[in-house]
């Protein structure tokens, strides 16, 4: 198998090594997390879209993050759930499905980082230039920034996956719980030098621009807060920036852990767990952090539940 070209369209997912006694608890945990991700993110998106008072750039940008989390989780978690009770020798996936899964996995990671970059810029304008905020962060600017966050990543990920799809295949086993770009080009016995060069460049550009812009933005925000004696400004900066930084740190720690563990074969099982966590932890916590930390959203959620409670009591 190592020395011949494989032209079949069916691949074998190695997946997680879950013992029978832990299969059901793992399935229930993943299922509950998936339901929570879908309900919380879709619920917050609908709430922000319906409430005109929440039609502000910060919240509308968060809708991008929620939609991206829903897409990413849906591309990965159902497949994981379906394979838990399937014997490792029977965990098949078509090559087309594998390519689509890899595309949406990298799209999710890239779009999360790009949206968080734009959210950092939004906080910078709001805190460092509040009088011009409404003139800078217009609906047109918001649309352009959102299109940039998605468009650039779709283009770059398209090239990333396209370089792997062009390769012939001599293997059929995906060693991870789901498909990603590294899993795709590891199926080939051809030279993957171009894939490694572009993949490294893509990672450096994405992480470098994300870290660089975020650090620079928050340095400017910190300077603005230190030079200003306005307590209202400092309090507002602390509240909104803490929320954004929490989301950013969760995303970066999850992503870097997965990338690092992917490079060490002897940590393969830990790498598999880390790769799943990056698709579960940030999407699950994003909505919680924003829903509970941002006062306007929290008040709207409380008012909605109170209104529903009153309606049910009236019906009774």
pLDDT tens by residue, 101-132: 999 999 999 998 899 889 888 888 888 888 88
DSSP label at 125? H
305 class by beta-carbon count within 10 Å (0-12 exposed, 13-18 middle, 19+ buried): exposed
**Of the candidate ranges 30-34, 155-159, 173-177, the one whose mean pLDDT is the lowest:** 173-177
What was the pLDDT predicted at 1?
A: 43
3-state secondary structure of 92: strand
Question: Would you state the pLDDT for residue 198?
Answer: 94
Q: For the chain, give the percent of residues with pLDDT over 70.
A: 80
CA dist 13 and 21 (Å) reads: 21
Q: What confidence tens digit (pLDDT) does each residue in 62-112 have? A: 889 899 999 999 999 999 898 888 887 788 899 999 999 999 999 999 998
| DSSP calls for 48-88 | HHH-GGG-SHHHHHHHHHHHHHHHHHHHHHHHHHHHHTS-G
**Is pLDDT larger for residue 293 or for residue 49?**
49
**Across residues 209-234, what is the average pLDDT?**
79
Q: How far apart are CA 83 and CA 86, in angstroms?
A: 5
Does the pLDDT value for residue 16 go beyond 80? no
Non-local CB neighbours of 303 within 8 Å, separated by 6+ positions: none
Region 152-177 average pLDDT: 91
Of the pLDDT bands very low, low, confident and very high (cuts 50, 70, 90), residue 313 is very low
Q: What percent of the chain has pLDDT over 90?
A: 23
Computed over every residue of the chain, the mean pLDDT equals 81
pLDDT: which is higher, 187 or 272: 187
DSSP letter at 93 equals E
Of 55, 206, 61, give the one whose Cα is nearest residue 119: 61
Q: Which residues pair with 11 in a beta bridge?
A: 93
Q: How far is CA 159 from CA 202, 205, 214, in A?
A: 10, 14, 26
Distance of CA 263 to the CA centre of its chain: 21
């Amino acid at each position: 198998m190592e020395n011949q070209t494989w032209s079949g369209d069916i691949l074998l997912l190695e997946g997680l090594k879950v013992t029978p006694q832990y299969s059901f608890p793992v399935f229930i945990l993943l299922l509950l997390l998936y339901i929570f991700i879908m309900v919380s993110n879709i619920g917050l998106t609908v709430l922000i879209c319906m409430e005109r008072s929440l039609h502000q750039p910060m919240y509308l940008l968060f809708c991008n993050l929620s939609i991206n989390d829903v897409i990413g989780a849906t591309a990965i978690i159902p497949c994981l759930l379906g394979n838990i009770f399937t014997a490792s020798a029977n965990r098949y996936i078509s090559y087309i499905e594998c390519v689509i899964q890899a595309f949406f996995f990298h799209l999710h990671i890239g779009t999360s980082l790009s949206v968080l970059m734009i959210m950092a810029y939004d906080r910078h304008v709001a805190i460092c230039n509040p009088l011009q905020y409404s003139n800078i962060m217009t609906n047109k600017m918001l649309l352009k920034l959102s299109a940039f966050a998605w468009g650039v990543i779709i283009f770059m990920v398209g090239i990333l996956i396209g370089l792997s799809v062009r390769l012939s295949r001599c293997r059929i086993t995906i060693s991870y719980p789901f498909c990603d770009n590294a899993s795709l080009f590891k199926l080939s016995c051809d030279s993957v030098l171009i894939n490694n060069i572009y993949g490294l460049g893509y990672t450096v550009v994405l992480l470098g621009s994300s870290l660089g812009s975020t650090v620079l933005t928050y340095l400017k925000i910190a300077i603005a807060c230190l030079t200003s004696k306005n307590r209202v400004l400092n309090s507002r900066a602390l509240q909104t920036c803490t929320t954004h930084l929490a989301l950013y740190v969760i995303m970066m720690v999850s992503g870097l852990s997965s990338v690092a563990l992917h490079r060490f074969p002897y940590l393969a099982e830990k790498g598999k767990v880390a790769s799943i966590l990056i698709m579960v932890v940030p999407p699950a916590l994003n909505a919680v952090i924003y829903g509970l930390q941002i006062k306007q959203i929290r008040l709207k959620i409380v008012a909605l539940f109170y209104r529903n409670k009153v309606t049910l009591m009236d019906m009774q």
